[in-house]
């Protein structure tokens, strides 16, 4: 029977994820690779995380609940996990067999390491002609710095972020509390993977079979994502377009400070022209004095409101963008965060709920989102090797006995 014109895929098939049936082999660690794998997993892919006997280093980070620390759980939720000793003579062979039935492989070793382990692009692409492989590294697979170790703070320094922020804040240079370089490289890598899969599907229609090796440099991803970089490229003076934080006087101790966003001259223009804020700058004063005096006048105006809602209403009337400067608990209880289900709860493995940040994808006729906790070390040996390779329990047990695989971790 033909579906009606008002039917959609979800009505016909039930819950549908965009990347169902996609197999992803995740060889990566820490953030840049695992985050891309987590997003693919939330979109429906079957993501298998491969870890060494010592596990991903992020298993040491964050509060442990039911045997899983928070940081590792956040980056690897929904994945299935196997533990392969790549230093064992037979370890690379197991990865090659998994790669042969995978659609996507993700790795973030330093360039050259995967090749030495026998699981680089040249080796893996021979197992499947149309494989898509995402390699994330600090400085790319080629160039003068390709072998350097690079964590996010290194890239933040090299990309000019730390220096510029120090200049803006007139403060000593410090690294921000956010692994931006990792996250940007991961998301750019995710875009590249989806583009490569699209290209693969088009080629298959023509009877062709060609894979793609994606060389994603964290430094390049960071610079290309930097909306201030045009100042550097065009040699223009840097102008702060972010925002300024002000304390309020609403009488509510739980009321957070407020940020007024936008270029400072625009904020002042709106307040002086449409809110009656007087310019207290003395005649003949220099630019620094003018900025300080006008800043003080804005602070006085903000603190003059006894009811926070009145302040927000007036800011909206003046077309001045504003934001609450939330602490951690404030983020959790933000009305928008709550309404949009930004945080999800999954079973922690003991039947108790554990909160995780969900992926932001929202589709009109498809599902997305975290579906389960992260795996314990080597938790899914039998399931993965049976599903992907058709191996029986005896084959898996033999690999465990020979320490090619590490037996499942007990939480």
SS3 157: helix
The residue annotated as part of the active site, out of 130, 182, 348, 358, is: 182
d(C-alpha 56, C-alpha 361), whole Å: 26
Task: Give percent above pLDDT 70 in the chain.
Answer: 92
* Average pLDDT estimate for 330-346: 94
* Average pLDDT estimate for 321-330: 92
Query: What is the reported pLDDT for 228?
Result: 83
Split at pLDDT 50, 70, 90, the class of 6 is: very low
* Average pLDDT estimate for 166-184: 92
pLDDT at 234 over 70: no
Using alpha carbons, select from 121, 125, 102 the residue that is nearest to residue 26: 102
Query: What is the reported pLDDT for 409?
Result: 72
Query: What is the reported pLDDT for 358?
Result: 97
Query: What is the reported pLDDT for 264?
Result: 86
Rg value, the chain, Cα: 26
Instruction: Please identify which residue in the block is written with the tokens 């005649």.
Output: 283
Query: What is the reported pLDDT for 216?
Result: 98
* Average pLDDT estimate for 400-404: 96
Long-range contacts formed by 140-145: CB under 8 A, 24+ apart = 140/111, 140/215, 140/216, 140/217, 140/219, 140/220, 141/111, 141/215, 142/111, 142/215
The rounded mean pLDDT for the chain is 92
Q: Which residues contact 37 (CB under 8 A, 6 or more apart)?
A: 24, 26, 28, 47, 49, 76, 79, 106
Contact 40, 190 (CB under 8 A): yes
Instruction: Please identify which residue in the block is written with the tokens 């007139």.
Output: 170
Instruction: Please identify which residue in the block is written with the tokens 């197992």.
Output: 127
pLDDT digit string, tens, across residues 32-68: 999 999 999 999 999 999 999 999 999 999 999 999 9
d(C-alpha 265, C-alpha 291), whole Å: 10
pLDDT digit string, tens, across residues 115-126: 999 999 999 999
Neighbours of 240 (CB within 10 A): 13
Active site residue 182: yes
* Average pLDDT estimate for 329-354: 94
pLDDT digit string, tens, across residues 8-38: 555 555 689 999 999 999 999 999 999 999 9
- What length does the chain have? 411
pLDDT at 250 over 70: no
Query: What is the reported pLDDT for 4?
Result: 43
Query: What is the reported pLDDT for 167?
Result: 85
Domains of the chain with CATH codes: 9-232+340-401 (3.40.50.10540), 243-335 (3.30.1540)
* Average pLDDT estimate for 238-256: 71
């Amino acid at each position: 029977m033909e579906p009606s014109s008002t039917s959609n895929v979800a009505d016909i098939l039930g819950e549908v994820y965009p990347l169902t049936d996609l197999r992803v082999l995740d060889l990566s660690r820490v953030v840049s690779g695992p985050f891309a794998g987590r997003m693919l997993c939330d979109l429906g892919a079957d993501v298998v995380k491969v870890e060494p006997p010592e596990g991903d280093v992020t298993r040491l980070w964050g509060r442990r609940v039911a045997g899983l620390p928070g940081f590792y759980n956040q980056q690897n939720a929904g994945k299935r996990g196997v533990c392969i000793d790549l230093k064992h003579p037979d370890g690379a062979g197991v990865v090659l067999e998994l790669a042969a039935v995978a659609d996507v492989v993700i790795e973030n070793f330093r360039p050259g390491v995967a090749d030495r382990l026998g699981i680089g692009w040249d080796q893996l692409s021979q197992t499947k002609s149309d494989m898509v492989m995402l390699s994330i590294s600090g400085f790319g697979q080629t160039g003068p710095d390709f072998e350097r170790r690079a964590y996010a703070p290194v890239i933040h320094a090299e990309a000019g972020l730390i220096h510029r922020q120090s200049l803006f804040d007139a403060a000593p240079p410090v690294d921000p509390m956010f692994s931006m370089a990792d996250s940007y490289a991961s998301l750019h890598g995710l875009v590249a993977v989806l583009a490569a899969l699209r290209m693969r599907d088009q080629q298959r229609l023509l009877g062709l079979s060609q894979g793609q090796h994606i060389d994603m440099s964290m430094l390049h991803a960071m610079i290309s994502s930097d909306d201030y970089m045009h100042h550097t490229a065009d040699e223009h003076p840097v102008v702060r377009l972010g925002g300024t934080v002000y304390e309020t006087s609403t009488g509510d101790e739980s009321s957070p400070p407020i940020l007024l966003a936008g270029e400072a001259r625009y904020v002042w223009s709106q307040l002086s022209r449409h809110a009656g804020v007087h310019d207290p700058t003395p005649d003949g004063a220099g630019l620094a004095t003018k900025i300080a005096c006008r800043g003080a006048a804005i602070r006085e105006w903000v603190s003059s409101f006894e009811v926070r809602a009145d302040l927000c209403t007036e800011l909206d009337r003046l077309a001045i963008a504003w934001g609450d400067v939330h602490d951690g608990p404030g983020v959790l209880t933000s009305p928008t965060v709550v309404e949009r289900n930004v945080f999800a709860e999954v079973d922690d493995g003991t039947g108790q709920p554990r909160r995780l940040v969900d992926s932001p994808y929202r589709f009109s006729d498809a599902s997305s989102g975290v579906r389960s906790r992260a795996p314990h070390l080597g938790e899914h040996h039998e399931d993965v090797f049976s599903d992907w390779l058709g191996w029986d329990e005896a084959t898996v047990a033999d690999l465990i006995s020979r320490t090619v695989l590490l037996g499942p971790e007990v939480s």
